[in-house]
Amino acid sequence: MLRGHTSILDQFRRALAAGRLASTFLFVGPPGIGKRLFAQRLAQGMLCERRPEEALDPCGECASCRQVLAGSHPDVQLVAKPADKAFIPVELLIGEKERRMREGLCYNISLKPYSGRRKVAIIDDADYFNKEGANCLLKTLEEPPPKSILILIGASEQRQLPTIRSRCQIVRFAPLAERDVAAILVEQGICTDPAAAQSAARMSGGSAGRAAQWCDEALVEFRGALLGVLSQREFDHGEAAKLVSQFVESAGKESAAKRARLRLVVSLAEEFYRAMLLVLTGIASDEDDSALSGALKTAQRWFPGDDSATACLEICLDAYAHIEANANQATLIDWWLDELAAAARAGRVAI
């Protein structure tokens, strides 16, 4: 079942029924809310062998539906940023050097549909185009082949080059409702306890992907410990760095997994400082989130003001950039904690 985006699905149905479906789309919205699943559902619906295209209601049982779901349909291609890469490799778009424009997404989508209906190309992680990769797509976006649909998926339209944005119809996805997030967790067997699923949904920000993380007791325990550190005016820097490092290392040996875990750690701090900013401007915190509300009450006793919270948020944003640049993990964690401590006390970013 596709949850939370029925109004967007209806827009596509109307466009298909009227014969006015565009060829290039940019799906934007927070991570983990189902944008890629929606794109996959579109591909299934348009290629289903048993139901009309404009219904966008795939049977899920025919050979075409099963192939789309398995990622093996000859008319559907999915490209995503490899976990160990900072950008989408240009080779995925136009082929290796010795076979440029004879393989890759741009070549494959130019071929006639095997099914005779449509070719569908889905580019996940479109926020991670470098300039060369984006330029490779321009001709395909500007002059899409007949019977082709190209869907780019990203978190924000602002992260796309203007040349990409101007050639795509932008479709904005909103965060999921808490009830939908909780239902997804239970339906997919991620969380078997409905009450725990509801609790995870409350902390998800409308993201099923983020909610799934909150079903991990180790993460809940770490978040409580990190909030305890951030809520103190003075904390043991060595112990704090050890806490963060051990949690990041527990993600496994792969550097990509550890980078993802460190991004999660920074996002937890970002959440705290955003909530702190709201509290300092007179907006009450979520009382259902006892760990966060307790940390905020402790921090309110000493926190200098909203400029301090803003400075800490800027440091978190800088930390994301350093993570993407593959900065040394230990050095980055030390720097991040030092900067947060100094900025929280002084109300400005430490130099």
Domain termination residue (choose one: 172, 203, 234) = 172
Q: Which of 149, 172, 195 is the last residue of a domain?
A: 172
User: Which CATH number belongs to the domain containing residue 38 in this structure?
Assistant: 3.40.50.300
Q: Are residues 223 and 297 in the same domain?
A: yes
SS (H, E, C) the chain: CCCCCHHHHHHHHHHHHHCCCCCEEEEECCCCCCHHHHHHHHHHHHHCCCCCHHHCCCCCCCHHHHHHHHCCCCCEEEECCCCCCCCCCCHHHHCCHHHCCCCCHHHHCCCCCCCCCCEEEEECCHHHCCHHHHHHHHHHHHCCCCCEEEEEEECCHHHCCHHHHCCCEEEECCCCCHHHHHHHHHHCCCCCCHHHHHHHHHCCCCCHHHHHHCCCHHHHHHHHHHHHHHCCCCCCHHHHHHHHHHHHHCCCCCHHHHHHHHHHHHHHHHHHHHHHHHHHCCCCCCCCCHHHHHHHHHHHCCCCCHHHHHHHHHHHHHHHHHHHCCCCHHHHHHHHHHHHHHHHHHCCCCC
- Does position 346 have pLDDT exceeding 80, yes or no? no
In a domain, 207, yes or no: no
Query: Greater confidence, 159 or 340?
Result: 340
- On whether both 222 and 325 belong to a single domain, the answer is yes
pLDDT, average across residues 246-254:
94
Residue that terminates a domain, selected from 118, 149, 172: 172
Q: Is residue 123 part of a domain?
A: yes
Determine what percent of the chain is predicted with pLDDT higher than 90: 70
* pLDDT tens, position by position, 97-144: 888 888 999 999 999 999 878 999 999 999 998 888 888 899 899 899
Q: Are residues 137 and 246 in the same domain?
A: no
pLDDT band at 348 (very low <50, low <70, confident <90, very high): very low
pLDDT digits (tens, 9 = 90+) for 2-28: 788 999 999 999 999 999 999 999 999
pLDDT at 351: 37
Would you say residue 349 has pLDDT above 70?
no
The answer on pLDDT for 243 being more than 90 is: yes
Domain span at 329: 216-346
In a domain, 246, yes or no: yes
Tell me: do 13 and 111 sit in the same domain: yes
Structural domain count, the chain: 2
Write the pLDDT tens digit of every residue in 177-204. Answer: 999 999 999 999 999 889 889 989 988 8
If asked whether residues 20 and 161 sit together in one domain, one would say yes
Residues 238 and 326 occupy one common structural domain: yes
